[in-house]
Amino acid sequence: MSDLRIAVLGVGMMGVFHVEALTKRIRGAKVTVISDFFDSKAQEVAAKIGARAVVDPIEAINDPEVDAVLIATPGKAHDEQVNACLNRGVPVLCEKPLTTDVGSAYRIVQKEAGLGRALIQVGFMRRFDPEYIALKKLITEGGLGNPLMLHCTHRNPAVPDFFNSEFAMRDSVVHEVDVARFLLAEELTSVQVLKGSATKSAPEGTSDPMLVVFETESGRIVTDEIYVRTGVAYEVRTEVVGERGSAMIGLDQNLQVKTTDGRWGGRLTPSFVERFGAAYDTELQRWVDAARAGTIDGPGAWDGYAAVAVCEAGAEAVRTGAKVTVSMQPRPGSAASATSDGSEPEPGITAPDLMGARP
Amino acid sequence: MSDLRIAVLGVGMMGVFHVEALTKRIRGAKVTVISDFFDSKAQEVAAKIGARAVVDPIEAINDPEVDAVLIATPGKAHDEQVNACLNRGVPVLCEKPLTTDVGSAYRIVQKEAGLGRALIQVGFMRRFDPEYIALKKLITEGGLGNPLMLHCTHRNPAVPDFFNSEFAMRDSVVHEVDVARFLLAEELTSVQVLKGSATKSAPEGTSDPMLVVFETESGRIVTDEIYVRTGVAYEVRTEVVGERGSAMIGLDQNLQVKTTDGRWGGRLTPSFVERFGAAYDTELQRWVDAARAGTIDGPGAWDGYAAVAVCEAGAEAVRTGAKVTVSMQPRPGSAASATSDGSEPEPGITAPDLMGARP
Amino acid sequence: MSDLRIAVLGVGMMGVFHVEALTKRIRGAKVTVISDFFDSKAQEVAAKIGARAVVDPIEAINDPEVDAVLIATPGKAHDEQVNACLNRGVPVLCEKPLTTDVGSAYRIVQKEAGLGRALIQVGFMRRFDPEYIALKKLITEGGLGNPLMLHCTHRNPAVPDFFNSEFAMRDSVVHEVDVARFLLAEELTSVQVLKGSATKSAPEGTSDPMLVVFETESGRIVTDEIYVRTGVAYEVRTEVVGERGSAMIGLDQNLQVKTTDGRWGGRLTPSFVERFGAAYDTELQRWVDAARAGTIDGPGAWDGYAAVAVCEAGAEAVRTGAKVTVSMQPRPGSAASATSDGSEPEPGITAPDLMGARP
Amino acid sequence: MSDLRIAVLGVGMMGVFHVEALTKRIRGAKVTVISDFFDSKAQEVAAKIGARAVVDPIEAINDPEVDAVLIATPGKAHDEQVNACLNRGVPVLCEKPLTTDVGSAYRIVQKEAGLGRALIQVGFMRRFDPEYIALKKLITEGGLGNPLMLHCTHRNPAVPDFFNSEFAMRDSVVHEVDVARFLLAEELTSVQVLKGSATKSAPEGTSDPMLVVFETESGRIVTDEIYVRTGVAYEVRTEVVGERGSAMIGLDQNLQVKTTDGRWGGRLTPSFVERFGAAYDTELQRWVDAARAGTIDGPGAWDGYAAVAVCEAGAEAVRTGAKVTVSMQPRPGSAASATSDGSEPEPGITAPDLMGARP
């Protein structure tokens, strides 16, 4: 099957992030058209990846070389653009929010329902995060009994000054709104905001942090501490408190569960697939990219030889019980210099910081 | 650039694992030829992905529709196959071991050196794992001072009976051999094996666990506890003990460092890129795959509408300080049923277990 | 100085708990008088420790052989008993609550103030817990900047049915009230209770869990999830969210801090005093108790000999680099049987459970 | 029963540490006689606690006012002093080592056996540490199956230069020798020392770190990494690897176990006794000490009143569902100043460091 030809609307930070993924890591996709409010930005990004820049986003949506649309424009532009996608009947991945007011959002829902076909996907990407998936699975399979409360924490190290209390609600809390709906599988019915002492980093009139309290259809309580100027790091934590145990994600230590046998802990990695599956993919992608350029990008023949030499000595040590000296030939010079040590981080992902292990 | 056309030799567990990645997740690659000792197995795998089965692996390597070769055959077959790749001058990713004896491995090193071009990559995939990369970076940047000792632990839940002490050395310890060389950037010069009490699960005559002790060129000590019938899980742990601190990976809790300020801990996730970068990729890949089939595979328009409705009420709650009821329209029926909740695990990766958060 | 002679009023669970400590572990104290609503219970406890049972608690307070009073009676009895202590001018340790209504509590405050001498101590024992002390110190020394929010979690595995929502407020939340006052060093000015879905284990009409939200004088928000029928364990967690970082205790992993350098972690045990100080005390107390009975209660001469034998061989191994066989004499029989292996838990403390390390 | 009258021999660091415990925290004991090689030091310590200084340690042992002896002199002095205790038939707690050579140690074992009475206890205090007790219990109850290997790590931040490789064996490794014997309940039969790269902080000729490998009677392997100039902290870690799981202590996170159900984790604190038992003891000891001085040392009447006031408002909030303002009377001035906030650390224990929660 030929690649999906995608128009990306809006190439600010998120748009560029998506263009890079679609160009370097995602299989079966091709960005053919770029559009942005600033046409020069669109042209710059398009030039890098061999796509076309189109000034009018609606024209981009209707381009005959476009099979699907990714919308990363500001929220105000979404209504018209999503509607244009529905009009043409092309799949669209729309960054949150769907639109900026309830009326237009509902009209889109109705319109899509009238088409009888799911065309619109909204960018709540936490549903694809392994920790949220594991937490959802734990709830669904009854591991916590009936979930009674949900505690969310959303902390950003810093945001610009225009990020006021209402903006925080629409831009950050919106993620927890979807997380709560996703995990509890019901709608939220009320919301209350408790504003306490604000950090000095917040502009006059902005409440930061805030405590947001939701109720759900069935009467569950969902709390969300939203604090976007912590100066610390990006911290997103979710705890589900159930009738038969509780579980927390976001501790930088994977999913941890407390159960009615009085234990806390997590599941050990069951096999190499879970532990090193991503490393295998990275290895393959980098090897494929290097092989297309006629070289390698990882441990080479010398590394293979050295391992054989040591393990051969090791096998003798197993048999004899003695200390065995490893004997190695000199390393030939020519190919060596081309041998990467594989220590560079995966392309397209920011280099892991000194002590951070998460890719 | 056209996709890299790959011949996969050997479609046992690892070969199939690689074929799946190359077909579903790796961009720029295409498996065109499959070969296996059991031709029917090769035909079965080839049929699924639209490739050709070729009986003779050397013929597969020399196939005009093959740009690169992935070798996942048993170690005994590697020597001839890798040499054939060198003869034809095609890039090859060879699963460990490079070959099964030192002499043939060194001849390959020499032959590649003679070509003056790095064609052979060996499948030590831990070098691509974020935790090992972070540990390497920490060492290289001097965060631990001079590394003095390296303690490795390699535990498997279970292995077949033919997995005897010598096999464990060649098949499992080989990974730690490469890890030690990768992290310490020097060769191993001696090896000693200490065999203690064996688990009852081990066959008569097999020492399991064993303690393997290496020395390096500069006199460092590397220990490796190898224990392949723990009945517990897949546990791979590495601790570097340096002159100015120590660090451990493999605790299922990311890289943890102990430093001379008397603290232990890790780096918090600095931004959404590190925390949710993989989730974004998964979201995009699944959306691309779904869009090519004319549908979506994630949160839909209704989810977008619900979030807008709640956040609009939330914004009012921010302004008024009161509890605000969320008002929502009825959900239209038709498109809803097509809306996935995004909770299925990524295709091609084993479903995460009840409490396991690692993908 | 002679021992403090103490009257213990009320020997239900808490009273007995205190009597045991005062008799076995606390230095400088002696329980001389016991009083309880059920006189037979008082007599039983008194008989065990060589104290006198006194029917009337006020008479017990005024007993000439009483220097201080420990009140562990039900809250309703506290007003009269504390006043009697003030009347006589004896120090009193009163389990919470001080009294059951604000008016009587304030009259006691005034009366003590009139005496010009602090006689009343209230049993908020968390102020003596090392984790709370460390958290208080961290706040006081400015390690978190201005504390903005405080999140408390108080979970019990099970409680009797009379433990309704109001009882939970007065008996459990009261601890978090003191914790908040202790940590933030200011008064609480308002309280709100959010009741959500209740666990099926709660009787009809009882809201369990509840979310209690306090405001403080300076406008800080304090949340407390109170959930007393979790079926899991005793979980008490406190997180302080400050302007320059956050810190959490109660994770069963000691105090963990997140700081503006983007790190999480804790302080490593700086010396043997912190790591093994309590073990030394336990060793001494058990040895003293055993020595008074003419025996030992810990590792004996044989253990000392065996260690010398091994370390002497070890010293030779250090010098020679070779494997040295340890040579040991036969173990004499007679004294051996009296040698405890020291594995019994400290008297007076419930045996640690299979996997629990906290004493 | 009257207090045990103890002679403490040697008041260097450990001796003073024990004198303080015996004087302030241990019930039923009284230090009556102090002896030290430096008589002025003995006189200084004795003066502080109302004991007598005696120049000759043997005379101190035979003093009629001595019921038991605590030996904290250098190892060279132990042989004569322990023998004197046996001669007089008094119980003795002897800091490790029992003596400095195998012959004298064994003669003591024989002599005590001849008495038919256990008089000698050796100061291996780890047997009294809750984590070691929990680990021992886990092994004894079969939770790990047959223990196959034991990995110990003993790291000190710094030691004086006289602390050479052999000294490390006799002074530090000796603890792991006892730990191995305690946990595995069998003797060690051989020892081997592997010396690798040494830290620059070690004097010429001193191997630091070293890897010490023991074998046990039944053929188990015990490893001990001994590294006494890490510059980091006091780190003592022990991992038992068994046939049915493994467990580690010393992670500053309590006992953690990995089991054949593929889980890692720990036991949650089952009740307030385990969580706050030590806090209760501290509260009581400090209150007793304060009461003997006619005052309090913890939360006072005002704290009790404030809690009642808040909880009374809280109870109303439970009933009404509304936000209830807390109304409080003014705080009377006089007694307030005497009210400690209880935040000072336990007397006799070094103040917990900024981020450390262990007492």
Residues in chain B: 359
Amino acid sitting at position B278: A
Whether the predicted pLDDT of C340 surpasses 60: no
Size of interface B-D (CB pairs under 8 A): 117
B-chain residues near D235 (CB < 8 A): 258
**Cis amide linkage into residue C97, ω under 30° from 0:** yes
The percent of residues in chain C predicted with pLDDT above 70, rounded, is 92
3-state secondary structure string across C94-156 = ECCCCCCCHHHHHHHHHHHHHHCCCCEEECCHHHHCHHHHHHHHHHHCCCCCCEEEEEEEEEC
The CA–CA distances, whole Å, from D336 to A123, D297, D302 equal 58, 12, 8
Across B187-197, average pLDDT: 92
3-state secondary structure of A175: helix
CA quadruple A301, A304, A310, A311: dihedral, nearest 10: -150
List of residues 6+ apart from B40 with CB closer than 8 A: none
Is the pLDDT at B331 greater than 50, yes or no? yes
CA A262 to chain D, closest CA, distance in angstroms equals 5
User: Is residue B147's pLDDT more than 80?
Assistant: yes
Q: Which of residues C201 and A255 earns the better pLDDT score?
A: C201
C198 vs A357 pLDDT, higher one: C198
Residue D339's pLDDT is what? 35
Q: Using CA coordinates, name the residue in chain B closest to D247.
A: B232
CB contact under 8 A, A207 and B318: yes
Q: Name chain C contacts of A263, Cβ cutoff 8 Å.
A: 355
Q: What is the average per-residue pLDDT within A319-334?
A: 84
pLDDT in tens, A182-198: 999 999 999 999 998 99
> How would DSSP label each residue in D94-123?
EPSPS-SSHHHHHHHHHHHHHHTS--EEE-
Residues of chain B neighbouring D199 (CB-CB closer than 8 A): 146, 148, 243
Cα–Cα distance, C72 to C15 (Å, whole number): 5
Q: Which of A198-202, A254-258, C114-118, D281-285 has the least mean pLDDT?
A: A254-258
C267 contacts on B by Cβ (under 8 Å): 262-264
- CB–CB of C301/D120 below 8 Å? yes
Q: How far apart are the first and last CA of chain D?
A: 31
The C-alpha of C258 sits at a distance from chain A's nearest C-alpha, in angstroms, of 7
Cβ neighbour number for residue C115 with a 10 Å cutoff = 14
pLDDT computed for residue C294 by the predictor: 81
pLDDT above 50 for C281:
yes
Question: Taking 50 as the threshold, does the pLDDT of residue A147 lie above it?
Answer: yes
Which of C209, C267, C234 minimizes the C-alpha distance to C350? C234
Q: In the prediction, which pLDDT does A1 show?
A: 65
Find the CB nearest B266 among C263, C267, C270: C263
Q: Do C262 and B262 count as a contact with CB atoms less than 8 A apart?
A: no
Is C342–D128 a contact, with Cβ atoms under 8 angstroms apart?
Answer: yes
User: What's the distance, Cα to Cα, between the start and end of chain B in Å?
Assistant: 31
- Can you tell me whether residue A324 is helix, strand or coil? strand
Q: What ipTM goes with this model?
A: 0.84
E-strand ranges in chain B read: 4-9, 29-35, 52-53, 68-71, 92-94, 120-122, 147-155, 188-195, 210-216, 221-227, 235-242, 245-249, 256-259, 263-267, 324-325
pLDDT at D42: 98
Mean pLDDT, residues C28-54: 97
User: Closest Cα of chain B to D201: distance in Å?
Assistant: 8
Query: D243 vs B201: CB contact, 8 Å cut-off?
Result: yes
For D205-258, the DSSP string reads T---SEEEEEEETT--EEEEEEES--SS--EEEEEEEETTEEEEE-SSS--EEE
Question: pTM to 2 decimals?
Answer: 0.87
What percent of chain C has a predicted confidence (pLDDT) above 90?
Answer: 63
User: Which residues of chain D make contact with A256, given a CB cutoff of 8 A?
Assistant: 265
pLDDT recorded at residue D1: 64
pLDDT score recorded for residue A343: 37
The nearest alpha carbon in chain A to D258 belongs to A268
Mean pLDDT of A312-325: 87
User: In which region does residue C252 sit, left (phi positive, over 0), alpha (psi from -120 to 50) or beta (all else)?
Assistant: left
Q: Work out the pLDDT band at A269, boundaries 50, 70, 90.
A: confident
Nearest to D264 among A258, A262, A266 (CB): A266
Q: What subunits touch chain D, counting only 3 or more CB pairs under 8 A?
A: A, B, C
pLDDT at C1: 64
Mean of the per-residue pLDDT values of chain A: 87
For residue B341, name the pLDDT band (cuts at 50, 70, 90): very low
Cβ separation A225–C157 shorter than 8 A: no
Contacts of D50 (CB under 8 A, 6+ apart): none
Bridge partners of A237, per DSSP, are A153
pLDDT tens figures, A34-80: 999 999 999 999 999 999 999 999 999 999 999 999 999 999 999 99
Residue A357: its pLDDT value, please?
31
pLDDT of residue D352: 28
* Residue linked to tokens 């990695």: A269
pLDDT tier at B204 (50, 70, 90 boundaries)?
very high
Nearest to C165 by CA among C229, C76, C237: C229
3-state helix, strand, coil in chain D (%, to 5): 40, 25, 40
pLDDT tens digits along A209-231: 999 999 999 999 999 999 999 99
**What's the pLDDT at D227?**
96
Dig out the tokens for C311 from the structure. Answer: 């370390």
Asked if C146's CB is within 8 angstroms of A199's CB, the reply is: yes
Minimal Cα–Cα distance from C56 to chain D, Å? 23
Q: Mind listing the pLDDT tens digit for each residue in B21-69?
A: 999 999 999 999 999 999 999 999 999 999 999 999 999 999 999 999 9
- pLDDT of amino acid A344: 37
State CA D120 to chain mean position distance.
19
In the predicted structure, residue B178 carries a pLDDT above the cut 80: yes
Of A105, A20, A25, the closest CA to residue A70 belongs to A20
Residues in CB range of A120: below 8 A, 6 or more apart: A82, A85, A86, A91, A92, A94, A98, A108, A112, B296, B300, B301, B304
Min CA distance, C261 vs chain A (Å)? Answer: 6
Q: At B135, phi and psi to the nearest 5?
A: -70, -45
| Range C168-189 average pLDDT | 93
359 residues of chain D, pLDDT tens digit each: 689 999 999 999 999 999 999 999 899 999 999 999 999 999 999 999 999 999 999 999 999 999 999 999 999 999 999 999 999 999 999 999 999 999 999 999 999 999 998 999 999 989 999 899 999 999 999 989 999 999 999 999 999 999 999 999 988 999 999 999 999 999 999 999 999 899 999 999 999 999 999 999 999 999 999 999 999 888 899 999 999 999 999 877 767 787 777 777 787 777 778 778 888 888 888 888 888 888 888 898 898 888 888 888 888 888 888 889 988 888 887 444 333 444 333 333 222 232 333 22
Confidence of residue C56 (pLDDT cuts 50, 70, 90): very high
- B263 and C264 within 8 Å at the Cβ level: the answer is no
The distance of Cα A6 from the centroid of its chain, to the nearest Å, equals 19
